[in-house]
Structure 1
């Protein structure tokens, strides 16, 4: 099988490479040092399996696995970790297996053989059964595909989210990208980080600059770091006005 190794420790990556070489019959296509890089390598190299550490800086392995599982033809995921307290989260993230460090060759060989025996239909069923879990933490990044490439947008950099016909526009610090996700699901996932201003738009609380009335009589939200103004519906206007007043008072205080 073709394998990508993701671990923030170079020594751990070398050890896994050595174990895989001892087992034989597999090819390591590449390595990654964090969750974000793991997603990009998995998309670029199309491995059969990703050996994924859980605790890594930036994006952790659990979130990376959720992004990888959304690929059109996702690889299997085997978690490798020094901590035994993430087993439930790992299987909610669609893992085929969960290996505790220090990893023994026999245990790794068994996990790879189990993965090899799984058919595509069985892998799809495993992912469908995983579901994401009610206690799953909110993502730190959203994932978009732009002309065949994978683009990751940090949630903390997002100015607003606006629903169109089939897609949601994600306005980041530099560019806009489109994702195939539900605005309602995004609002539920990220809670108070975003404010509903209209049935088709959420604005990042941190980037709400103020409200203004347009020549058409409608009220619009000004978004810091974005040229676009977002129309505010009458339903959401009272709450937004309160928040803007509170923010202004806090700045003056």
Structure 2
């Protein structure tokens, strides 16, 4: 209670329909049906009911608030809440002596501990060896680049000619994908984003191999429209199959266009 009012906006107002207010909060339907209970001398009706799920209340014997989230702000709040991390507590241990004559040398560094607090539920979760987090299915980031513009990592003292002639420069993940389209018939039925479902990227060998086990999905790096040609190239990579070169990506119905932008317009994108 804040200033004799509930900070959670209870009791709510009666409403005939569920709606969303200007701040993005849900206003649930609360009908005037005449039903109420008495508690501490007051009458509680539908305006005081917290959203809940009967099965969850009976199953876990606990107060569980269930909300139907259909606003971006609500979803952001939930993710922020569950990822805010464990609580922490700072503990300092200090010696105490009733004898005023005795002088104890206190080693402040040894007696100062920065402790991490684990709640009972979090401790039990670790004792039973449950997974703290996991990701399924595995997601593979798929970089791409324009012709001759692949990223190259080198040190300040490296010779530039040696850097350019490295085998890894000519075997980027994106270029290797187009090379696989020349070798494997199965690869020609997949777009770039679908490629990890059937092929696996071997980092040490800098090549794609047919997948023998497991499953993975691909995600192409996002690009802003202000980038220009890179933005239109990304659009085409979601649709074009079996290109063997950059020219094939710009080819539509047998006609090769000078830019990726023109190819996108020709396809109606």
TM-score after normalising by structure 2: 0.22
TM-score after normalising by structure 1: 0.22
- CA radius of gyration, larger in: 2
